[in-house]
Structure 1
Amino acid sequence: MSSLSLAVRDSSTMLRRNLLHARRYPSLTLNLLLTPVMLLLLFVYIFGDVMSAGIADGRTDRSEYLAYLVPGILLLTIGGTTIGSAVSVATDMTEGVIARFRTMAIHRGSVLIGHVIGSVLQCVMSVVLVGAVAVAIGFRTTNATALEWTLALGLLTLIALALTWIAVAMGLSSPNAEAASNNALPLMVLPLISSAFVPVDAMPGWFQPIAQYQPFTPAIETLRGLLLGTEIGINGWLAITWCLALATLGYIWSTSLFNRDPK
């Protein structure tokens, strides 16, 4: 059997293992999904009128704010789902599963690949579920074409891939699952301090660079442009650049930690 076919076979096995774990222990995924759904409902039904007035020159239009909010909530969903990957990887490390895999005749990288692909699939499913909730409460796109929907889904998948590699590295570098959950928390915090809830221009002057020059704001603005027809500008290229940079960083970090000889 060639090296490539061996890698594909073993990665598929590891992917199936991770998906079975997610199915048997759905509580973690459900808990992480509750946060973006609750934030969506909270900001739409409790703060929706006030927030829409603040960004629409005094006009109160809850549906308009819902459309503005959804792209940021989808990014928050991905960030939350990838925290589960960090916890899963840390659990495998601390419970000795990885040590047993090291002694088996399997492709070395298949363990990480299985975690990454499994996490990306879970992210996509989570985005679909949260998106369905958004549609159920009134979210509608503005003349988005099939190509724009495809590009939006592709961008979300690329973001999920990049954040998953970072989460896997955080899980590998953590001493236990609890630490992994805490270390990966910025993946949910950063969307909260981006343009997800209010425009960057509406923030205090000292805070605007923090919101502007981070990975999530360009991605959110790109999604708004694709789905709502707003101006994208250079945000699309910035979002892709951030994703590629984070994916590369996470991959190098993860493989370096995983290939390190255990003490």
Structure 2
Amino acid sequence: MTALAQEQPALVPPVLKKHIGLYDTISQTVTMAYRALLRLRRTPEQWVDVLMMPFIFTFMFAFLFGGAIAGSVADYLPSLIPAIIVQSVVQASILTGTQLREDMDTGVFDRFRSLPIARVAPLAGPLVTDTIRYAVITSLTMLVGLLIGWRPGGGWGILAGALLVIVVTWAVSWIWALLGVTARTTGTVQGIATLIMMPMTFFSNAFVPTSTLPAWLRPIAEWNPLSHLITALRALTNDGVWGTDAWWTLLGAAIIVAIFAPLTTRAYMRRT
């Protein structure tokens, strides 16, 4: 027995990577994005708000407030359509946090945590897939605007503006992802996110000129990050101009990702 045991080769435990490289991280993120895409296909009810919001908000604001604010619906549309796009897409980004909370409650993220994959991949993958919803909302809102008389003159700026909104909203979704990881219930995520976004949307230059606001409220609206995004989108879609607001908006998006992506990943590992 002793001689036989000595002849058998010793078992060498597999060497596990302590760090995941950039290529593997991107590949694993794409895999998780594909998983989220399959989930969207198998749960079509998640598209209800995506398909309805552009029609409801555009018709409601255009025909209710167009005459009172701009004198006519046609004169209000160049200002309104970019605002509706930003409002609808940013509101849709809240779903990122609620879905993440639901996945964590079912235990699927515990399985992801046990796999030898990049820690950020299970979080970043669904966020990448969510950009499809943002693109659909943006396209539908523009289509509705064209049907009721919006005639943008931005040319290439229309596409640049759409990409700007999608990139910025993807960055904002990291905030809701952090909330989804740290909150206890899906309802908490939805309630807190809505409580934040509703005032930010209406205390901005989205639907009325900031010059009409009270003196104490005007600086708040002018410094509102959504005001800069809406102003940048108006300049791009209507005039094809990439202005200062667009650069500031991109810088803000980069700062959000730099801060909230590591915080979300750390909170996810600690929570699970």
- TM-score (ref. length: structure 2): 0.84
Contact 2:96 2:177 in 1 (8 A): yes
> In structure 2, what is the equivalent of residue 204 of structure 1?
214
Contact 1:83 1:187 in 2 (8 A): no
> Distance in 1 between the 2:151 and 2:51 partners?
21
Does the C-alpha gap of structure 1 residues 176 and 229 become closer, same or farther in structure 2, counting only changes over 3 Å? same
> Distance in 2 between the 1:214 and 1:231 partners?
21
The answer to whether structure 1 residue 131 and structure 2 residue 142 are counterparts is yes
In structure 2, give the amino acid aligned to 1:165: W
After superposition, what is the alpha-carbon deviation per residue over 1:118-160, rounded to whole angstroms, capped at 9, x for unaligned?
Answer: 1122211221122222222221112x132x2332123112212
Aligned partner of residue 7 in structure 1, secondary structure:
helix
> In structure 1, what is the equivalent of residue 257 of structure 2?
247
The answer to whether structure 1 residue 183 and structure 2 residue 192 are counterparts is yes
The answer to whether structure 1 residue 95 and structure 2 residue 106 are counterparts is yes
The answer to whether structure 1 residue 150 and structure 2 residue 168 are counterparts is no
In structure 2, give the amino acid aligned to 1:228: N
> In the TM superposition, what is the alpha-carbon distance from 1:192 to its structure 2 partner?
2.2
Residue correspondences, number: 253
Q: 1:69 aligns with which of 61, 80, 93?
A: 80
> In structure 2, what is the equivalent of residue 234 of structure 1?
244
> Distance in 2 between the 1:204 and 1:189 partners?
16
Q: Which has the larger radius of gyration?
A: 2
> Distance in 2 between the 1:155 and 1:174 partners?
29
Contact 2:235 2:242 in 1 (8 A): yes
> In the TM superposition, what is the alpha-carbon distance from 1:173 to its structure 2 partner?
1.4
Bigger drift between 240-249 and 201-210 goes to 240-249
Q: 2:224 aligns with which of 204, 211, 214?
A: 214
Does the C-alpha gap of structure 1 residues 152 and 98 become closer, same or farther in structure 2, counting only changes over 3 Å? same
> Distance in 2 between the 1:83 and 1:261 partners?
20
> In the TM superposition, what is the alpha-carbon distance from 1:167 to its structure 2 partner?
1.6
> In the TM superposition, what is the alpha-carbon distance from 1:203 to its structure 2 partner?
1.1
> Distance in 2 between the 1:86 and 1:159 partners?
16
Within 5 Å, which residues of 2 pair with 1:99-114?
99-114=110-125
RMSD over aligned Cα atoms: 2.2
Aligned partner of residue 38 in structure 1, secondary structure:
helix
After superposition, what is the alpha-carbon deviation per residue over 1:191-228, rounded to whole angstroms, capped at 9, x for unaligned?
Answer: 22211101111111111122111210011111111122
In structure 2, give the amino acid aligned to 1:164: S
Q: Gaps spanning 5+ residues in structure 1: where?
A: 53-59
The answer to whether structure 1 residue 141 and structure 2 residue 159 are counterparts is no
> Distance in 2 between the 1:206 and 1:153 partners?
32
After superposition, what is the alpha-carbon deviation per residue over 1:18-76, rounded to whole angstroms, capped at 9, x for unaligned?
Answer: 11222222323423553453222111112211121xxxxxxx22111011101111111
> Distance in 2 between the 1:221 and 1:204 partners?
20
Q: 1:224 aligns with which of 221, 234, 246?
A: 234
Q: 2:89 aligns with which of 71, 78, 92?
A: 78
> Distance in 1 between the 2:240 and 2:136 partners?
26
Does the C-alpha gap of structure 1 residues 230 and 201 become closer, same or farther in structure 2, counting only changes over 3 Å? farther
Contact 1:166 1:249 in 2 (8 A): no
Contact 1:72 1:220 in 2 (8 A): yes
> In the TM superposition, what is the alpha-carbon distance from 1:113 to its structure 2 partner?
1.5
> In the TM superposition, what is the alpha-carbon distance from 1:232 to its structure 2 partner?
7.2
Using the aligned pairs only, state the percent identity.
Answer: 25
Bigger drift between 61-70 and 30-39 goes to 30-39
> In the TM superposition, what is the alpha-carbon distance from 1:261 to its structure 2 partner?
5.5
> In structure 1, what is the equivalent of residue 172 of structure 2?
163
Contact 1:169 1:253 in 2 (8 A): yes
> Distance in 2 between the 1:256 and 1:4 partners?
18
In structure 1, give the amino acid aligned to 2:63: Y
> In the TM superposition, what is the alpha-carbon distance from 1:105 to its structure 2 partner?
3.2
